[in-house]
Structure 1
Amino acid sequence: MLINDPATYAAVSAAFDAYETALTTNDVEMLDTLFWNSPHTLRYGATENLHGYDEIRAFRARRPGANLMRTVVDRSITTFGHDYAVANIAFTREGEARIGRQSQTWVKIDQEWRVVAAHVSWMDR
């Protein structure tokens, strides 16, 4: 098994960076693009469990676009082969005492990296 092939790692890192920028600037169109358009896609958030691309997309469309900035304090990306990766971060947000955590599973589908599963949660410091 090829772990963290440099080219694959760079591609997933770029996709992750695009996601982070889209999230913090509320670029809903880009966020929708980066998630796999499938009923099998999952996103478990701090207050919601979303099953399927349509539920995730609807959530993004109605989510408030304010106070989205955050600071990534820890980041780990691991690629497996050329088509599968996991990305995890810990983050802080101004005015929030807890630490945020985000996990994403990325798969290369039709030559593009897409999030197929995601989880966001908060933890007391």
Structure 2
Amino acid sequence: MVIDDPTLLAEVTAAFREYERALMADDIPAMDALFHHAPTTNRFGVGEVLYGIEAIRAFRKGRGGSPRRRLGKVAITVYGAPDGPAFATADAEFFRDNVDRRGRQTQSWVKFPDGWKVVSAHVSLEGSSH
């Protein structure tokens, strides 16, 4: 198994960056294009649990945009070779304006014939420590 093939890593990193751009611009068509269009695609957010692309689409349309944020550390790892199946994980810290808690985002990406798509995503905020 090849880990972090430079070509694949550059591709999925570009897709990740495009998703972040679309998220901050509330570009729903661009976000939708970067998620796999299937009932098996899931997204767990800070306040929602969404099973399937239709639930994800409905949430985005009704949300009115994402809270503003800036990214902290981002770790992307890709598994596979350019001539075969490929899978990637993208783990990111983020910081929302006027929020003390650090956010965390994990995305699982798969390379399909039409490009890299998120098949699972999880967004959360750190809890209070004691």
Q: Quick check: TM above 0.5?
A: yes
> Which residue of structure 2 lines up, in the alignment, with residue 121 of structure 1?
124
Deviation for aligned residue 1:68: 2.9
Deviation for aligned residue 1:93: 1.1
- 2:57 is equivalent to residue 57 of structure 1: yes
What secondary structure sits across from 2:75 in the alignment?
strand
**Which runs of structure 1 show a deviation greater than 6 angstroms over 4 or more consecutive aligned residues?**
none
TM-score relative to the length of structure 1: 0.95
Say what the alpha-carbon RMSD is for the aligned residues.
1.2
Structure 1: distance between partners of 2:90 and 2:104: 11
Structure 1: distance between partners of 2:96 and 2:45: 16
Identity across the alignment (%): 44
Aligned residues: 124
Q: Please, which runs of 5 or more residues in structure 2 have no aligned partner?
A: none
Alpha-carbon displacement from aligned partner over 1:72-108 (angstroms, at most 9, x marks no partner): 1110000000411000100101101110000000001
Contact 1:23 1:68 in 2 (8 A): no
Q: Please, which runs of 5 or more residues in structure 1 have no aligned partner?
A: none
TM-score relative to the length of structure 2: 0.91
Query: In the alignment, which of 90, 107, 116 is matched to residue 110 of structure 2?
Result: 107
Q: Which residues of 2 match residues 1-125 of structure 1 at below 5 A? A: 1-65=1-65, 68-82=67-81, 83-124=86-127
